[in-house]
Amino acid sequence: MQLTPNRVVTERNWVAERSETVVPIINGVRDDLGEVFDTDVDHVTESQYLEEVDVVFADGDVAVNVAAMVAILRTLDVEGDYPGFVVDELLGRELAATIAGTQPLRTLGEATFHYADLQVHGSEDENAGVDDCEAALAAGFQERLPGWNWTERESPFSVE
């Protein structure tokens, strides 16, 4: 695979075009996790998702890595699927973490990927890695976007 600026644009556009699939996954995950953690979590709109896609891809160093993982996942297919289970999990987890950003969001993105991945099942006509890619996009972007109460307050651990 060769990554060029044009290829990064292609992968960015693919990520943006998945908004109708990814945003409902984000909101479903937020509903479920909000219930588990006894908190209300705001839903994400398609416009919020698309704006944040632009933010991620505006940082060239992040963009090239996100584009590479997206390109690999959406073309990844393993005969019988199960033997490829580990590689698509590794790539999905890392994609979610890279999109989520710095700690603690990075680790939360990785953890949320595994939950989202259980909720997402690709169609028979898609490569096996596409559903992992969608779960990773949902996990990573849902960490970046506002809506969690704990991210919208001052940390009690800040040292002045």
Tens of pLDDT, residues 96-106: 999 999 999 99
User: How does residue 82 score in pLDDT terms, banded at 50, 70 and 90?
Assistant: low
- Tell me what the mean pLDDT of segment 18-32 comes to: 95
Tens of pLDDT, residues 36-80: 999 999 999 999 999 999 999 999 999 999 999 999 999 887 776
Report the range of poorest mean pLDDT among 13-27, 74-88, 114-128. Answer: 74-88
pTM for this entry? 0.92
- At 15, list the tokens: 């990520």
Residue type, 66: V
- Determine the pLDDT at residue 84: 61
> Do residues 96 and 136 make contact, with C-beta atoms less than 8 angstroms apart?
yes
**Rounded to whole angstroms, how far apart are CA atoms 123 and 140?**
22
The 10 Å Cβ neighbour count of residue 3 is 14
Contact partners, residue 6, CB within 8 Å, separation at least 6: none
Residue type, 114: H
Contact partners, residue 42, CB within 8 Å, separation at least 6: 30, 146, 147
**Rounded to whole angstroms, how far apart are CA atoms 3 and 19?**
23
